[in-house]
């Protein structure tokens, strides 16, 4: 009996050590790949791979921030995350406001920050499970700690889905407007930002009345933020 107990204890000790080593390996790997993407152009994302494996073609063209119109950066901030430069990845005030508004809204309003969307699109999968949300928080905080804000914004503008199989502002600008992302007008940038919540249901090429209305709202918010001078004030 004593021998059996000793063997069982030894088994659980070995298992615990292996689990600790595995967890440490996963943590170090996630840190390493996140650090790598601070400087290296992101080759793909979890969302792109899912599209590719499902048989949908993927149009993706990485460009640095210097080749993206400031209108595009300002539009996504105005539309998705106006507190982007002041929070640490999770905007708790926006979460509280969304909970309050959603009590009376027919279409629920989300409160994910740009940083959270980068973490989800780059590393994870869609869904609402507690496991995925927990991992989203983990990667969001890691991205915020290891990347400057300008890098987070650059990656977001490159990997956000802006049409079925169309990822990033360069691919979207070329596909829908026949011009590089560096030449996007305010209205074009605002239209692309307007479809971000549902890029497979809404179209930048053939905007619905809702998208047109949302585009003008985003342009108004861009003006209220102070235009592209807002970006210069927060440049790293």
Does the structure show a pLDDT above 60 at 1? no
Mean pLDDT of 196-220: 94
In a domain, 7, yes or no: no
In a domain, 21, yes or no: yes
Does the structure show a pLDDT above 80 at 235? no
Mean pLDDT of 73-80: 96
- 188 C-beta neighbours (distance < 10 Å), count: 23
In a domain, 184, yes or no: yes
Between 110 and 188, where is the model more confident?
A: 188
Q: For residues 169 and 188, what is the distance between their CA atoms, to the nearest angstrom?
A: 11
What's the Cα-to-Cα distance from 86 to each of 89, 118, 176, rounded to whole Å?
9, 17, 32
Among positive and negative, which fits the CA dihedral 137, 143, 124, 64?
positive
In a domain, 81, yes or no: yes
Does the structure show a pLDDT above 60 at 28? yes
In a domain, 62, yes or no: yes
In a domain, 92, yes or no: yes
Q: Is 60 helix (H, G, I), strand (E, B) or coil?
A: strand
pLDDT band at 77; cut points 50, 70, 90: very high
Does the structure show a pLDDT above 70 at 95? no
**E-only strand ranges, the chain:** 59-60, 166-167
pLDDT band at 110; cut points 50, 70, 90: low
- 186 C-beta neighbours (distance < 10 Å), count: 20
Segments forming the whole domain that contains residue 100: 13-233
Domain total for the chain? 1
Q: For residues 42 and 221, what is the distance between their CA atoms, to the nearest angstrom?
A: 30
pLDDT band at 101; cut points 50, 70, 90: low
Beta bridge mates, 60: 167
* Start-to-end CA span in the chain (Å): 66
Does the structure show a pLDDT above 90 at 104? no
In a domain, 26, yes or no: yes
Q: What is the pLDDT of residue 236?
A: 59
Q: For residues 92 and 148, what is the distance between their CA atoms, to the nearest angstrom?
A: 20
CATH of the domain at 177: 1.10.3810.10
Check if the beta carbon of residue 75 is closer than 8 Å to that of residue 196: no
In a domain, 162, yes or no: yes
Task: State both tokens at 24.
Answer: 């440490």
Check if the beta carbon of residue 213 is closer than 8 Å to that of residue 126: no
């Amino acid at each position: 009996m004593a021998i059996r107990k000793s063997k069982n204890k030894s088994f659980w000790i070995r298992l615990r050590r292996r689990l600790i080593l595995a967890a440490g390996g996963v943590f170090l790997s996630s840190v390493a790949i996140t650090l790598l993407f601070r400087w290296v152009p992101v080759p793909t994302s979890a969302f792109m791979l899912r599209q590719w494996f499902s048989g949908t073609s993927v149009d993706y063209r990485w460009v640095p921030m210097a080749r993206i119109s400031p209108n595009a950066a300002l539009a996504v901030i105005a539309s998705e995350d106006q507190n982007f430069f002041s929070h640490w990845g999770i905007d708790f005030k926006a979460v509280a406001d969304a909970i309050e508004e959603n009590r009376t809204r027919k279409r629920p309003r989300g409160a994910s920050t740009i940083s959270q969307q980068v973490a989800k699109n780059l590393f994870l999968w869609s869904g609402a499970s507690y496991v995925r949300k927990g991992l989203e928080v983990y990667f969001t905080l890691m991205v915020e700690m290891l990347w400057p804000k300008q890098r987070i914004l650059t990656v977001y503008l490159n990997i956000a889905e802006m049409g079925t199989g169309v990822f990033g502002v360069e691919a979207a600008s070329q596909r829908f407007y026949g011009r590089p992302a560096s030449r996007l007008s305010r209205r074009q940038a605002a239209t692309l930002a307007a479809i971000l919540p549902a890029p497979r249901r809404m179209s930048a090429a053939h905007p619905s009345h809702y998208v047109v209305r949302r585009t003008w709202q985003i342009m108004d918010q861009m003006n209220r933020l102070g235009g592209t001078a807002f970006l210069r004030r927060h440049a790293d």
